[in-house]
Amino acid sequence: MPRFAANLTLLFTEVPFLERFERAASAGFTAVEFLFPYAWSAEVIKAQLDQHGLTLVLHNLPAGEWDAGERGIACHPDRVQEFCAGVRQGIRYAKALGVSQLNCLAGKAPAGVADALAHQTLVQNLRFAAAELKNAGLKLLVEPINTYDIPGFYISRTAQALAILDEVGADNAFVQYDVYHAQRMEGELAATLQQHLARIGHIQLADNPGRHEPGTGEINYRYLFARLDELGYTGWVGCEYKPLTTTLTGLGWLAWAGAKQPA
């Protein structure tokens, strides 16, 4: 079965962020991911990873003023300089933390900007990011996000992300495939994974509706996990869901998924 990484942005939220590493390790996880490391020094986060024997498999490039509602700036023509600075900052953290891939959030379509200009800005920014990450030995990920949860998000479907990556033309740029977002926007989960697995660099999960743990909604995760095995997926699957009750109570799904039983 796939290897699962705990998303510390949404799991173990009953304790402060730096205490979640210990909680994840105690629950049986060997890897973690999260949205952003930038509120802490890389040294502080690295100490937590090392202390608890955890691998960090993913974090995002800086994405603007998150607390103010921004969800990325890669398609904003007036923020190019900020985006480029964020790429360099993300690379510094990735190298210090041992991360092999960084996710770029395209952002919401900027108000008052022609779509052609937003598109051109996004492609050029992704070319810059891919080149900088390649020089650092890293992969770039681009994630479609559903427009129910984030209205106006610029990339919302797998085909759209793939078409943009075709324009970018970088061999180190891949799709981050979030099963929850894909289910809400397009369905066809198994078929999409089969058709495009070679261009998918990372997978995340949550069930629908509610964005809770597998087994709480309509997605047949038992089938999808088995299908990923059949397809030969060897990457990590990030558990980016909101527990229906508590994190530990909700981890029972790991047993039927074939993962290590939480302590």
The string of DSSP letters for 51-69 reads HTT-EEEEEEPP-S-GGGT
Q: Which residue has the tokens 């993300």?
A: 90
Active-site residue, from 43, 188, 213, 240: 240
In a domain, 262, yes or no: no
pLDDT band at 258 (very low <50, low <70, confident <90, very high): confident
* Per-chain mean pLDDT for the chain: 96
Active-site residue, from 143, 186, 188, 230: 143
97: tokens are 């933390």
In a domain, 235, yes or no: yes
230 is an active site residue: no
pLDDT over threshold 90, residue 162: yes
pLDDT band at 2 (very low <50, low <70, confident <90, very high): confident
Span of 17-31, 70-84, 169-183, 248-262 with lowest mean pLDDT: 248-262
pLDDT over threshold 50, residue 263: no
* CA atoms of 97 and 49, how far apart (whole Å): 8
In a domain, 33, yes or no: yes
33 is an active site residue: no
34: tokens are 């999260």
pLDDT tens column, 165-210: 999 999 999 999 999 999 999 999 999 999 999 999 999 999 999 9
Which of helix, strand or coil describes residue 5?
A: strand
In a domain, 261, yes or no: no
Task: State how many domains the chain has.
Answer: 1
pLDDT band at 131 (very low <50, low <70, confident <90, very high): very high
In a domain, 263, yes or no: no
**How much is the pLDDT for 51?**
98
In a domain, 200, yes or no: yes
Residue 105 maps to which CATH number? 3.20.20.150
* CA atoms of 171 and 134, how far apart (whole Å): 9
The string of DSSP letters for 27-90 reads TT-SEEE-S--TTS-HHHHHHHHHHTT-EEEEEEPP-S-GGGT----TT-GGGHHHHHHHHHHH
For 173, the domain range is 3-256
